[in-house]
Amino acid sequence: MKLSTKGRYAVMAMADLAYHSRGKPVALAEVADRQEISLSYLEQLFGKLRRGGLVSSVRGPGGGYRLAREPEETRIADIILAVDEPIKATRCTTGSPRGCQSHQGRCLTHDLWEELGNQIYLYLSSVTLADICERRVLGTSRLNVRATRPEIAAAAR
């Protein structure tokens, strides 16, 4: 499964907003600069995030965007789904009885990929913006880097 830039950038921007807002609106240009994302692309994403009820906009001097809910209540899966990013690993249309093969059947590995998509959704639903901002999403990635590539781990310290 590949998550497109739309989903990744939306999560990056929302995490930036959660981290830097401290109750006041944040200009989208600041988020774009810090995250190195095109401002026009962020404007499109934030339109979807606003319609999805995840952010609110503040007009005028000192305006910008703020979270519509607390970081502890904003799940990563909600962000990805708000920007129309499907969380699935199959080629089939979600919920369709038709399969991904030319004869409309399901491939032998269909259930494997469908369950993988479900597990990804469950994981992303268990992580909040607060978890990201407070660096509680470490997992084993650091351990794997240290074990397999000590030179990278040393450079990261």
Domains of the chain listed by start with CATH number? 5-85+127-156 (1.10.10.10)
pLDDT band at 149 (very low <50, low <70, confident <90, very high): low
Say yes or no to pLDDT of 145 above 60.
no
Residue 31 exposure: Cα atoms within 13 Å on the Cβ side: 27
**How do residues 93-139 score in pLDDT, each as one tens digit?**
655 566 666 566 777 888 888 888 889 899 999 999 999 999 998 76
Residue that the structure tokens 């519509």 belong to: 68
Helix (H) or strand (E) holding 34: helix 28-35
Q: Which of 59, 58, 65, 15 is nearest to 35 (CA)?
A: 15
